[in-house]
Amino acid sequence: MATALILLAAGQGTRMNSDLPKVLHPIGNAPMFAHALASASALAPERTVVVVGHGGELVSAEAKKIDDTILIAEQTEQLGTAHAVLQAKDALDGFEGDVIVLYGDTPFISEDTILAMAEARKTADVVVLGFEAADPARYGRLVMDGDKLTRIVEYKDATDAERAITLCNSGLVAADAAVLFDLLARVGNDNAAGEYYLPDIVELAWETGRTATAVSCDEAETLGVNSRVELARAEGIFQAAKRLEALENGVTLVAPETVFFSLDTYIGRDTIVEPNVVFGPGVTVESGVRLRAFSHFEGCHVSLGSTVGPFARLRPGAELANNAHIGNFVEVKNAQIGEGTKVNHLTYIGDADVGDGTNVGAGTITCNYDGVFKHRTTIGRNAFIGSNTMLVAPVEVGDEAMTASGSVITSDVPAGALAVSRAKQANKPGLAIKMFDMLKARKAKMQKGQ
């Protein structure tokens, strides 16, 4: 059965006190709505529609970054959840199959839960996701008759007996596309708020000879994010889950509470992550790697057996081959580092290709930017770059070549050659003592004048 997703992301989120649309606030360095889409990807949806409203252009742009096939529908007036879902009808024109409705501010719905909703659709026309609430408070209640969901009643409209129900409404719905839009067209707005409510489709389903049921998930999956406090709580929940996932997948976290992950972080087993390591988006680390303390990773790939850090930074485009060594206070950006290559101290390698088995000495800089354009440096295999070498790109250092310490390399270095580019040293006998005496006298005069 084909599946489509409708993700509601039109709310302003006034409690965020922000110019940024609520669903764009990040959890794990990804917009919060991306989490729900990631879980639902297990269904391999044929179409995905994101319904936008407040800040629609920004939300649409971020959605397209995640998947450029995502369709956008606009809710120009905030007239309730049923009205929001109905805005996706044109985008799903011609689609035949099931639709699952998600919420952009409910990021923790799991893959298993979404699969359970899809499975329940085989025996009911409408499926609603519920949860057993520790404190039902003012949630809508799911009124069940055996496995039949007869209706959803809002707290303010519920009887005392209905308020005693602890199975509450999460808002997520699954239904056949044609059935869903038929029911939505029947939803009225005869209520205090004058809005069209998605839960009303349950009673309408029974009235039109259809069936409805509910599946249940853990309450933690239904956490909604509506304020900065809840956003911080959500980030903590996300990080705790990712740390546990890493540990269970064979990764050693020396101090788990100090390591921070992104939604798409991947780390292979038998990797050791030392304290205070931060993973930005787009990081893949293969097996058997050691990531040393206080290092930062973003948009990079670290291959088998490599060591990075401490106090290292791998920026977007950094690619480390097997058994590479990146040491303390080294920054790598948009650069290929060859197998077994060592860049161990106080160095910047940007816009570069460094061959296998090369050693890059302390204080080396690839001078890649001329103020307007970026230029590339190429270093061959088994080369030796002396400490404090400035490589002024574009420049190439051949295989097994060497640069002398303190050199400024502005021309290509042939394979096997030694490049020396230094100013001639001149020693001035006794001048250091004279200079110190002069400076000390000036300092004493200044202090006396005070």
Residue 359 shares a structural domain with residue 248: yes
Is 323 within the bounds of a domain? yes
Is 281 within the bounds of a domain? yes
From 222, 246, 270, the end of a domain falls on 222
pLDDT for the residue numbered 429? 95
pLDDT for the residue numbered 168? 96
Residue 181 shares a structural domain with residue 79: yes
Amino acid at 103: Y
Residue 304 shares a structural domain with residue 345: yes
CATH number for the domain that contains residue 391: 2.160.10.10
Is 447 within the bounds of a domain? no
Residue 412 shares a structural domain with residue 346: yes
Per cent of the chain over pLDDT 70 is: 100
Residue 254 shares a structural domain with residue 355: yes
Q: How far apart are CA 4 and CA 46, in angstroms?
A: 6
Instruction: Give me the long-range contacts of 68-73 (CB less than 8 A, separation at least 24).
Output: 71/47, 73/49
83 is catalytic: no
pLDDT for the residue numbered 246? 98
pLDDT surpassing 90 at residue 425:
no
Across the chain, what does the average pLDDT equal? 96
From 222, 254, 289, the end of a domain falls on 222
Q: Decide: 293 and 310 in contact? Cβ < 8 Å.
A: yes
Which residues, including other chains, have CB under 8 Å from residue 432's CB and lie 6 or more apart? none
Is 432 within the bounds of a domain? no
Six token digits for residue 447: 């202090």
Residue 209 shares a structural domain with residue 249: no
Residue 252 shares a structural domain with residue 202: no
Mean pLDDT of 138-152: 94
Lowest mean pLDDT among 6-10, 116-120, 132-136, 271-275: 132-136
Nearest by Cα to 171 from 6, 298, 411, 373:
6
Q: Which domain holds residue 246?
A: 228-419
Q: Decide: 305 and 339 in contact? Cβ < 8 Å.
A: no
Six token digits for residue 329: 């206070």
**Which pLDDT tens digit goes with each residue over 147-199?**
999 999 988 888 999 999 999 999 999 999 999 999 999 999 887 778 899 99
**Which pLDDT tens digit goes with each residue over 73-112?**
999 988 999 999 999 999 999 999 999 999 999 999 999 9
Residue 379 shares a structural domain with residue 415: yes
CATH number for the domain that contains residue 76: 3.90.550.10
Residue 121 shares a structural domain with residue 267: no
pLDDT for the residue numbered 191? 78
Mean pLDDT of 235-250: 98
Q: Decide: 237 and 225 in contact? Cβ < 8 Å.
A: no
| Catalytic residue, candidates 25, 296, 301, 345 | 345
**Which pLDDT tens digit goes with each residue over 26-74?**
999 999 999 999 999 999 999 999 999 989 999 999 999 999 999 999 9
Mean pLDDT of 367-374: 95
Is 127 within the bounds of a domain? yes
Residue 50 shares a structural domain with residue 141: yes
From 188, 222, 256, the end of a domain falls on 222
pLDDT band at 436 (very low <50, low <70, confident <90, very high): very high
Please count the structural domains in the chain.
Answer: 2
Is 436 within the bounds of a domain? no
Is 85 within the bounds of a domain? yes
pLDDT surpassing 90 at residue 11:
no
Residue 137 shares a structural domain with residue 279: no
The 3-state secondary structure of the chain reads: CCEEEEEEECCCCHHHCCCCCHHHCEECCEEHHHHHHHHHHHHCCCEEEEEEECEHHHHHHHHHHHCCCCEEEECCCCCCHHHHHHCCCHHHCCCCCEEEEEECCCCCCCHHHHHHHHHHCCCCCEEEEEEECCCCCCCCEEEEECCEEEEEECHHHCCHHHHCCCEEEEEEEEEEHHHHHHHHHHCCCCCCCCCCCHHHHHHHHHHCCCCEEEEEECHHHHCCCCCHHHHHHHHHHHHHHHHHHHHHCCCEECCHHHCECCCCCEECCCCEECCCCEECCCCEECCCCEECCCCEECCCEECCCCEECCCCEECCCCEECCCCEEEEEEEEEEEEECCCCEEEEEEEEEEEEECCCCEECCCCEEECECCCCECCEEECCCCEECCCCEEECCEEECCCCEECCCCEECCCECCCCEECCCCCCCCCCCHHHHHHHHHHHHHHHHHHHC
pLDDT for the residue numbered 138? 83
The CA–CA distances, whole Å, from 368 to 130, 197, 334, 377, 381 equal 56, 57, 11, 7, 20
Is 33 within the bounds of a domain? yes
Residue 19 shares a structural domain with residue 71: yes
